[in-house]
Each structure stands twice: as C-alpha cells, then as structure tokens.
Structure 1
C-alpha cells in the first residue's frame, strides 16, 4: 500500500478525533452554561453583577465557535412558536414599563439566553444534552458540599458572598451559606438558596435514574450521586421541591409499570396513575398544615399566598400588558420596593409563581402565552415519552424534567429565569424538532399516539 493509499485512512482517523474532541468540548461548555444558569447567585456573589459577565461571555464565545465549527445553523422553523411569541411580547412591554431601560436590558438578556438555548438543543443530541446536565448538576452538588463543609468547620456564623465582605451585618437573605451542615441544615450550597439547590438535586436524580434504566451502566457512581441527592433533600428541608419529587416518583413509577403491561391496558394504567396523582395533590392540599409542620413551614408555603394577594391589585391596574418585563423585580423603586417585605426587612423580588409573575410583568397576554408554551411542551414531551417507553428511555428524560418544572412553577418563578428558562427552551426546541422526525415504533400503541 502506498502513502497516497493510506493517507485517507489517517485523515479520516484525524477527522474522527477532531469531531470527538469538539463534541467533548461542546458538552463541557454547555455544562458550564448550565452551572452558571442554575447557580447564578453564587457566581454573582463571587464576581459581582458586572464581573460575572466575564465567565458568561467566555462560555458564550466558546459555544458560538464550537457551534459554527460543527457546521450547524439556526433555522427559524426550529424556534418554539409560543416561547418566541412570549419573548417578543416581553420586548413590547418595554414601551410601557415602569422602568423602560431596565426592562430593555433584561429583554436583551432573555433574547440572548433563548437563542443560546435553541442553539444548544440543535447542537447536541439528547444523550449528550443529558450528560451535560448531569455533569453541571454534579459540579453544583459537589461544590455545595465542599463550601458548606468548609464554612461549617472553619466559619464563624453565616458566610456573606465575597462581593459583600466588609459590609458588616447583612440581612439574612443576603448571606451565601449559614454553615449549618453539621447541625442538620438547612443548607444553601453554592446557589445560595435551599430551594434551587434542592431542585438541582431532583433534576440530577431524574437524569441519573433514567440514564441507568436505559444503559444499565455505572451503577456505583449512580448510587453514590443518588445518595448525595438524598442528602441534599434532607439538608435543604425544601417543602416546595418535595412536592415536585413526589410527582416525579409517581411519574417514574408509572413508566416502570407501563413497560410491563400489555399495550391494550396502557391507557387504563395512565388513567390510574393520573387519578393517583390527583388524589395525592388533593390530599396534600387538605393535609397542608401537617406537611407544613413537618417541614417547619407555614401552611401558606412560607408566605407565598401573602405575595400573591399583594400582587393582585397591581395586576388589576395593568391587566393587559403588565408593569414591564423584569428578571427579578426592581426592588429599588415603587411599587416593588414596599410590595412585600421579608422578615429581615428586605423587599421580595419575585412572585414565587410563574403565572402570577407573568401576569404582573407582562399582563394577561404574557401569562396566556407562557401558559400555552408550558402546556404545549408538557403534552408534547409526554406524548413522545409514552410512544418510546418500550425502546428508548432517553426520550423519557425531557418529559420527567418538564413535569418537575411544571409542578415547581406553582411555587417558584424560576422557570422564567436563568437556568430553568434555558432548560425549558431546550426541551421545547427538542420536542419541536423531535416531533418532525419520522418515528419507527413497533408497538401497536402507536395508533393512539401520532406526532402530527
């Protein structure tokens, strides 16, 4: 064989190596973006609001370079319709916002995050996307335990974020971690808040369980990280995430049962589990006092009903277009500065409910659009999950993640912001593209589930 004959083989090997390296770099870059998105408070606490733009820009530039070098492109038909309409409406609210410049800044940030999220869904196959999620969530959980242990061993009282060192006594909500890990918690971890940390642990557990059910690989590491997630659940003492966890357990149990029953009985099984879920939700409502006592919280979900009642008059004043799009309320100005004051004297900066948040900032038009986007995406990913329950559990991961975020949407506004918004847009884009691909599904149940 001559050198000329062997050259293409070597060139092909080099090309494969380059592609493997590019895919690995893409996964790590996306994992870094998820880390910044889901642990943004910790990143801002270290670098400051302006300084935190530096790692964000580095990750963004790296992703754009990798995306372009991969030969992929963004096509308008890949954009989720209802999400795109909601983002456009957020931009329109800048014209009548109580603070137009701030709304415009937040809208630009929302546009950039939405575009990047769509590009991530286009750039990565679902398996690589799930691996990136797992990697980023492991970074958050691992760094949270390291931080909490260090503060618990060497710290004296609560630890303020580095950008606030030297300012003396701070409001309770301004501290990064309290250093209570050796006292049974609650812990805040790197995200600086127990609820986001617990939700990250839930999302990580979902990805790990379904990945193992599909691949049957890496059992020791899977069990170790599931144990870490369980420790986070216990130490954060997050009642709101406990509700999402209960819902996801029911969903995963339903999926396991679905794989073991005849196709003709599956619709009946779905109905049974749906009824069980409804009964659990109703039971939780009537037992809210006992549940609140178990978590040491108030029956109104730690004052959330107070926030919703305070927001209602503002929604009535501007029902159509809202007060302007904000990622977190501008608490330095009225009416937000005195709307709801926390026990530590600081103003509340979000509604702790996606739909109330959308109604306040973008009016009923925005609330309708975001509700339509959530419902459409949820129905679509569940349809894909049920259709592939027999042969591909990777396609089930987006459905369970979406169900977790949907349950959380009633007690948190985070689906509209940062990492949660990024994951929501990615799932919506994935299911839009996935729904356009013809599916070869041997099961007879396909007659009930079509992708059109």
Structure 2
C-alpha cells in the first residue's frame, strides 16, 4: 500500500479553501439589499408605507454596523466624489426648500441608498458583485411571474395594493391587472408598474448573459432565466425599455469592436461610426416619433409626458439656479404636490424625465452636478470595458466579460432617464454609485486591495491575486536536502 514519505519535498494535498459562514451571510445580506432596490415600490404595495420605511431604515442601519465591524479596505481618495457633491448640494437645498418636510424625508432615502451602494461595492469583489446582482434579479423575475400567476389563477380579478380586490377609478391604480393569460396585455410584476418592470427585465437579460460569458456554472439554468426575463420584458411592453434595449445593443457591439483593435489609431473609425449611429438614431427618433410610438402603441407625446414637462419647467423658470428644494420622489401628501400635476386621476410623483426633475428641485447647479456624475460614470465604465487589463509590462491579458456590466447599465439608465426619473432613486442611483465606486476602488477584476479583502470565491482564490507577474515554470525536480537523504529512507509502495 502506498504511503506518503516521512520526508516529503512538498506539503501533502489539502482540501480547497471554503467560504466561511460569515462571508456567505454577508453576501446573502447584499443580495437582499439589491433585491430591495430592484423591486422598487413592491414593499409599499405589500406592507404599506410605514412598514416599508421601517424596513428600509433598518436595513441601512444594519449595513452601517456591518461596515464598522468588517472595516474593509477603502481608498478614501478614490470615492465617487461627484456623487458626494450632488448629495451635499441636495442636503443644502433644505435651507431654501419650499417643501422642507418632503426634502428631509427624501434626503433620508437618498442617504440610505448611497450608503448601501458604497457598502456593497466595498465588501464584495467584482465576481461576487455580479453574482449577487444576478441572484437578486432572479428573485425579482421569479416573484413577478409567480405574483401575476397567483392573481390570474386564484384571484381571477385585478388587485389593488395591500392585496385588496376591488374596483379602481382608473386601471393605473391596480397592483396587478390580471393580464397574464390575456396576450398581449401588459404585465406589471411585483412593482405594480410595467414601466418599472421593463428596464429591470432588460437588466436581468444583460446580467445573466454576462454570467454565461464569464463561464458561470449551471448555464442551462441561466438560459432559462434569460427566457423568463425576455418574456416579462416583452409583456411589460415599455417603449422606454425597448429604446434602452436598442441602446444596449449598439453599445455592446461597439465595445466588442473596440476590443478587436490592435493598433492605437484603429479605434478611431469605430468611434466615428458609433457617433454617427448615436446621433442619427436620436435624430431619426425625433423626426419619426409619431410613426415609432404609434407602432409601439404609444402617443407621440410619450403618453402625456409633454404636459407634465411643461408644468415642471414652468415652475423651474421661477427659480432657475438653485431650484425649489430636493424632493425625489415627490410626496403626494405634501400640499405643494397634491393635485399639482394629475395623470389618470392620480397625483404624479415624478417629472418623468430625470434632467427636468433635477432642474426643478436643484436648479441649473443640480443639473450640472448630475451631469458630472453620469459623465464620470460613463467615462470610467467605457474604458473599463474597452481597455485590456494591464498593471505591469504584460499587455496580452484576456478581457473579462464582467467589465461589460457598468457601461451597459449606463446605457439603460441614460435612455430611461429621458422618460422616467427612476435613475435618481432606488436601483438607478444605487447602481450608479455602486459601480462607479467599484471601478475607482478596483479598476481591474481580481486585482488590488479591495479585491483581496474578499478573494474567496467559489472555494478558491482568483489566480490574478496570487500571480501579479507571469509564474516561473519549474524546469528541475525539487531539491531534497542532504540531511533528509541521510536519514531513514522513506517507505515505498509495495
């Protein structure tokens, strides 16, 4: 029987390193936080505003406590300072706010979302972050389908928030319209809004596709999740989500072409083509908006959004520089917003355009700050995706599909921001801060202090962490010390 030598030249084999229970719980908590932001107002529809607010505040406090206990490495000079400047300016607006109560409440939501974004981006590595986002999106997609299925099978009638079955003054009030088996009527999912479900379903398709390209296990299941997300995306029938999907396709194709460039000036033609397609697409969208939106089942004024924009811009003109005070979202119980702008009999809670919304709340200064936030995010995420990873003289390292996520998220949010204010709160703001901070803290996947702090992924360390330089191949057998050879010979296999 073969036995190990008493004097081995190397250490005996050991089982692979496994993730500790604490780290598994930490990742599970991050998935829960991401699910909270991606599911939007589902918590309000399910438990009511007071309970949803208590859950949100409690989650923020717990994340702060975990951050203090874990103390992950943070490069304070490389935080998203443009986003911090926007938060500071929003905070200062309480000094001149026309609705100080709403400003204080919505500022708390802004603080909690920003803290959660920085927390997740700090305690998770790139691979863990994408994996956590995928897990949260699975919960959102699965619960949306199960919710619509339960309403159609068991309730068989439209449902109002709070699980109330009854008639509404307008269909916009329904949490679910019982449309699952009525193709092609729109589905709303657990968010209770098809315009919120569509972009999240598109994000799910992007994330699951990135996971497949990254070589994630159980690819068959990931393809099934893509099919489910595509079904919900089509049934949501959101015109904004369709335009965002077109933008994602253009950006993805351009990034992949950029990665094929071998010479310094070879990317110029791709940039020119990208600019022509982008400008031409926007111009064509504007000139043919009647035909396009009619084909999508929408009016050319984006379902009444132009009237909302006119009302908001009229108020913006009265305080053009500093605005009326931060309020994201608008509080419908505040006298300043109650019945101010009405759509389908309901008080509108947003301007349906993030730039117009910011201009009304924080003025031209706020618009400039928000523009710098998105410009910095898009700039960093673009080169994070198209540049080959390099931190030494080695210039032929392979690209990582994980680096596609930030730039594709930027494309979704920028298009969505033209017709919705969602990029200013919930998952939109969380992803901008989280991914922007992560790029600054960890500009290379698997490399750097922020990645090494949580390097145990799927039971083993990332090779890039242990091999900053190409490994030296061993050409000779290991040398055994003379003192060991002079001792008792080892047992041999019989």
Name the TM-score class by shorter chain: 0.7 to 0.9
Cα gap change, 1:21/1:281 in structure 2, threshold over 3 Å: closer, same or farther? Answer: farther
Secondary structure, aligned partner of 2:347: coil
Cα gap change, 1:263/1:26 in structure 2, threshold over 3 Å: closer, same or farther? Answer: farther
Corresponding residue of 1:292: 293
Contact kept in structure 2, 1:118 and 1:426, CA below 8 Å: yes
Matches of 2:64 and 2:434, distance apart in 1: 16
**Does 2:250 match 1:250?**
yes
Secondary structure, aligned partner of 2:172: helix
Cα gap change, 1:158/1:418 in structure 2, threshold over 3 Å: closer, same or farther? Answer: same
Corresponding residue of 2:279: 278
Secondary structure, aligned partner of 1:87: helix
Secondary structure, aligned partner of 1:182: coil
Corresponding residue of 2:176: 177
Aligned-residue CA RMSD (Å): 2.7
Contact kept in structure 2, 1:315 and 1:322, CA below 8 Å: yes
1:409 pairs, out of 417, 430, 434, with 417
Cα gap change, 1:166/1:156 in structure 2, threshold over 3 Å: closer, same or farther? Answer: closer
Matches of 2:215 and 2:261, distance apart in 1: 21
Cα gap change, 1:338/1:28 in structure 2, threshold over 3 Å: closer, same or farther? Answer: same
**Does 2:347 match 1:339?**
no
Aligned-residue offset at 1:373: 0.7
Contact kept in structure 1, 2:168 and 2:174, CA below 8 Å: no
Matches of 1:129 and 1:218, distance apart in 2: 18
Corresponding residue of 2:146: 146
Report how many residues are paired: 428
Per-residue CA deviations over 1:361-402 (Å, capped at 9, x if unaligned) read 111111110111111111111011111385222122111111
Contact kept in structure 2, 1:22 and 1:66, CA below 8 Å: no
Structure with the higher fraction of residues in helix conformation: 1
Per-residue CA deviations over 1:385-442 (Å, capped at 9, x if unaligned) read 1113852221221111112112211111111111211111112211222359889999
Corresponding residue of 1:431: 439
Corresponding residue of 2:387: 387
Corresponding residue of 1:317: 318
Cα gap change, 1:167/1:78 in structure 2, threshold over 3 Å: closer, same or farther? Answer: farther
Secondary structure, aligned partner of 1:400: helix
Question: Which ranges in structure 1 are unaligned for 5 or more consecutive residues?
Answer: 1-8, 443-452
5 Å-filtered alignment, 1:2-401, equals 17=18, 19-57=19-57, 59-72=59-72, 76-162=76-162, 165=164, 169-184=168-183, 185-215=185-215, 217-264=217-264, 265-343=266-344, 345-388=345-388, 390-401=398-409
More displaced, 247-256 or 141-150? Answer: 247-256
Per-residue CA deviations over 1:22-67 (Å, capped at 9, x if unaligned) read 3322222112112111213111111111111343355445534543
Corresponding residue of 1:3: none
Matches of 2:140 and 2:330, distance apart in 1: 26
Cα gap change, 1:73/1:216 in structure 2, threshold over 3 Å: closer, same or farther? Answer: closer
Matches of 2:53 and 2:159, distance apart in 1: 23
Secondary structure, aligned partner of 1:84: helix
Normalised to the residue count of structure 2, the TM-score between the two structures is 0.80
Normalised to the residue count of structure 1, the TM-score between the two structures is 0.87
Per-residue CA deviations over 1:342-372 (Å, capped at 9, x if unaligned) read 12x1121101111111111111111110111
Matches of 2:215 and 2:263, distance apart in 1: 23
Secondary structure, aligned partner of 2:160: coil
Corresponding residue of 1:449: none
Contact kept in structure 2, 1:29 and 1:59, CA below 8 Å: no
